[in-house]
Structure 1
Amino acid sequence: MTVTTGELGDTTEGAISDADLVVHDAVVLTVDEDNRIYENGTVVVEDGVLTDVRTTRDRDRACDANRVIDGEGRLVMPGLVNAHTHLELTPLLGAFSDLDLMEMMSGMTAIYGQIADGDYDYLTEAGYELAALNFLAGGVTTVNSMDVRPSAGAETFGEAGLRGFFGPALSDLFWDVPVDEQFDRARDFIDEYHDTYGGRIRATINPHDDWSCTRELWERTAALAAERPDLLVHTHLLELKESNTMARANGAEDSLDLLDDVGLLDDRLVAAHFRLADDEDIRRTAEADASVAHCPSIFCYWNTDGDVQWTPVPELRAAGVDVGLGIDDHYWHDSYSMFGEARQARLAANLKRSAGQYSSMELVRMLTVEGAEALGIGDEVGSLEPGKRADVILLDVDKPKFTPLTNIPAQVTNNAAPADVATVIVDGDVLMEDGDVKTMDADAVRDRVGTAVDRFEAETDWDLGLGESEPPSTLDVARDVPKRGPAQLLGRLVFQSIKDRLPS
């Protein structure tokens, strides 16, 4: 990829008129088609839209815009896109970190089952606030979240000024909530929240995955998607070895064949993980114009099988598939950092394969414009170009850690951290300036989270101490795990596995 540096412009241009916001004399990483970088750049915003991105002119510094930001020592770039995440259990950061895999999975499944039954609203509401606060402060301006009861998330992110895709997860083999009730909730959520908060909050349809949904649920999902052709379909796909096994139990050749059968393999599909995709899966995904969200940290932390191939992201991108980066369950690996997710994507791929799987600019694009394209909003956000919405972040690069300020894409993907984000702008509105969040009361959020965690400990016998986290006893966890759905799931997988071994 070609990175060009803008030259200092002339001084004859007049003052900028009618602008709402101007940033001047900043390093500007545009992430446009040519990946232009301006050494001394100006960004102009009017009515929430970027109207000019160019080299700074002398009169920019004294222009008559409503707000003028001196960008000296700042790197200006598009807001980050978290293309796949779950937010409700954010207050449990640190709770799962040192458990073994089965402890983590059983504990998480029990908690999600109780959330599905209507418990722990106090915890999940506090979780959305904490997630919004930390992602905002870390430069994440767009999230795509699949949760159990996402109404509080839509409201919290909307009121904070952020951009988000939300929808309730649908599954008939993961928990025991009646399917009719799940789809009623999904329709109600869509009706209430889609295209709200000035269009920043949008609803999605969320079949949970290809290993905990029956064909009947996939068919009902397709019917809902046909009713609402304006919505994305967001799922976990080809995440586990059990994915294709369950697809065969559902009467299909494999997971993509199942989605194709029911009419969901198309340009509205956002598939998280895609870890086990082969060449044929990549070809079919590219032909369908579907998208992928790559979440490297979660599998680096909780890898279930070291022999399983790594997600074939370079091959997906080479085939023309839009691939964004997602942080997934950030409370499973204790990190809100999308910059860290880009670094992890490189390190994991290089370790599993060989060095040179990505250039730094490719990772920057996956953090921004390719994540936006994966969510179907690449024409609105993701790069700094005239005509796009003004989702912009400013990093403080006047620090020893960024000295010397060379190879900006590498600095962003290898060195930057959430703490380096100084200012955040969404739709032209300044949500955080010089580290001061304007749209949320950070102290009040922290107080509510502390109260929620104390109550959760008292109600569940989890011990979330300073030294380590201790989950309830195995018997207590087993008591709370959903029974009917998971039992059917395991039965189907076992039966199909036996069937697969029989002579054809």
Structure 2
Amino acid sequence: MAADIAITDALVLTVDERNRLYERGTVLIEDGRITAVRQTDEDETDGEATHTIDGDGKVVMPGLVNAHTHLELTPLIGAFSDLDLLEMMGSMTALYGRIGEGEFDYLVDAGYDLAALNFLLGGVTTVNSMDVRPASGADTFGEAGLRGFFGPTMTDLFWDVPLDEQFERACAFIEAYHDTYEGRIRATICPHDDWSCTRELWERTADLAAEYPDLLVHTHLLELEESNTMARANDAADSLGLLDDVGLLDDRLLAAHFRVADADDIERTAAAGASVAHCPSVFAYWNPDADMQWTPVPELRDAGVDVGFGIDDHYWHDSYSMFGEARQARLSANVKRTTGQYSSMELVRMLTIEGARALGIGDEIGSIEPGKRADIILLDVDKPKFTPLTNVPAHVVNNAAPADVETVIVDGEFVLRDGVVETMDAGAVQERVERAVERFADETEWELDVGGGSPPGGIDTLRDLPKRGPARLLSRLAVQTIRDQSPL
């Protein structure tokens, strides 16, 4: 049977268990799956497939996996860049509270369009996003032909939204969106983090996870020193102990950041089969504590924990580039520790197969092997910056950029072909975003122009911040800190 797509004469970076690299390779795709990966035959003919791609001067590799992200405020890229940390956090929290109340839907919808377009152009075929109102994102990414995990965030010490309402939203989203768009869109359960959620929320999350046993549980974990303090305030020994107490420390858990994990945390995470999403750029940009340790990714991987890369809030650090995350991971770890923390191939694996495994779909995507879904990208490396083309993995993680992505295939379908977007109207997306940002600026008094951006005055921001939840959060942390410092 003829293939649907044949890619011939390409440099094929398979990212399989042996990290095989074909210097002149062929990849065949039929009915959405990879059917063959091999050396190109001398007598290879164009008649073998419906669509044949000449891979000369191209690197073929698995699609990139963005294992942890937030997408709703994408149109505000550049708006937060030059704020100080507290101003950025306050402005962001006020906006998310209003989004939760149903405001700014026009901005959210435009944001999902823009995120899908830019990730598609940059070779990101799968995202895992935690947002306030993710329905628009699920539809947008599904219609764009991309693969996505989406879930509404839940927190009772960050927002003033009743828990019953938050869990009703989560259930409604799961019922509406899980396993839709030919299975490319999946729902997740998203308690926000281990420092702004009560034990009651975690217990209810465990009940919801038991009701939907095939869903990923996606959260921020061990991100801050306050993580373990809040866990003790929640009557647990520490953060992982709390999750273990309620029955959530298992192979369905994907934990973003993991910055303050110690050796015992790593051992327990590995034993549970849980996974981690490492987001180096956002913390390199907004590091709240210069003395805080860096995420112990080498130790996690040595222990057998799957670690993928996440771009997190890309509008906080003005980059859609997953290639940039790999480079930043290397540079930050080397500065914080010593040189040689990663090999280039390890970083490639974290961009692809390990991110897929962290999401529980490593048997479906993440490497170029027969039987897997055809999520594949082609990089144009016939350029001066890639000359000479030695050490392809190093070029990918140190030198490649979204602009080098020429073709993107998801589930065996073209979403980007020869630089042309097949599933979205790029011009219409840009126009929609520009109108949305103009309207947002008019409604909120944010100053957004070519020279930069600044939020409304402090009084206006304070007025929009949630009140009850954060007050409880701060008081809990304060009381527990006093207890921790008191003699036995």
Q: Please report the TM-score for the alignment, with normalisation by the length of structure 2.
A: 0.99
Counterpart in the other structure of 1:380: 364
1:177 aligns with 2:161: yes
1:122 aligns with 2:112: no
Q: CA offsets, 1:62-114, max 9 Å, x none? A: 33311111111111000000000000000000000000000000000000010
Report how far residue 359 of structure 1 moved: 0.1
Equivalent residue in structure 2 for 1:99, among 55, 59, 83? 83
Matches within 5 A, 1:10-409: 17-409=1-393
- 2-structure distance, mates of 1:387, 1:442: 32
Opposite residue 211 of structure 1, the aligned amino acid is W
8 Å Cα contact 1:61/1:70 also seen in 2:
no
- 1-structure distance, mates of 2:431, 2:191: 34
1:444 aligns with 2:428: yes
1:470 aligns with 2:454: yes
Equivalent residue in structure 1 for 2:400, among 389, 412, 416? 416
- 1-structure distance, mates of 2:83, 2:481: 29
- 1-structure distance, mates of 2:210, 2:32: 32
Q: CA offsets, 1:242-289, max 9 Å, x none? A: 100000000001000000000000000000000000000000000000
- Alignment RMSD, CA only? 0.6
Opposite residue 351 of structure 1, the aligned amino acid is V
- 2-structure distance, mates of 1:390, 1:246: 43
Q: Secondary structure at the match of 1:225?
A: helix
8 Å Cα contact 2:6/2:48 also seen in 1:
no
Opposite residue 143 of structure 1, the aligned amino acid is V
Report how far residue 156 of structure 1 moved: 0.2
- 2-structure distance, mates of 1:60, 1:361: 30
Counterpart in the other structure of 1:5: none
- 2-structure distance, mates of 1:61, 1:160: 31
8 Å Cα contact 1:24/1:61 also seen in 2:
no
8 Å Cα contact 1:74/1:398 also seen in 2:
yes
Identity of aligned residues (%): 74
Number of residue equivalences: 488
Report how far residue 426 of structure 1 moved: 0.3
Report how far residue 434 of structure 1 moved: 1.0
Report how far residue 59 of structure 1 moved: 3.1
Q: CA offsets, 1:343-374, max 9 Å, x none? A: 00000000000000000000000000000000
Opposite residue 403 of structure 2, the aligned amino acid is A
Q: Secondary structure at the match of 1:373?
A: helix
Report how far residue 468 of structure 1 moved: 1.3
Opposite residue 211 of structure 2, the aligned amino acid is E
Q: Secondary structure at the match of 2:396?
A: helix
Q: CA offsets, 1:128-183, max 9 Å, x none? A: 00000000000000000000000000000000000000000010011111111110
8 Å Cα contact 1:50/1:387 also seen in 2:
yes
8 Å Cα contact 1:25/1:41 also seen in 2:
yes
Which structure 2 residue ranges, 5 or more long, are not aligned?
none
**Runs of 4+ deviating beyond 6 Å:** none
Q: Secondary structure at the match of 1:60?
A: coil
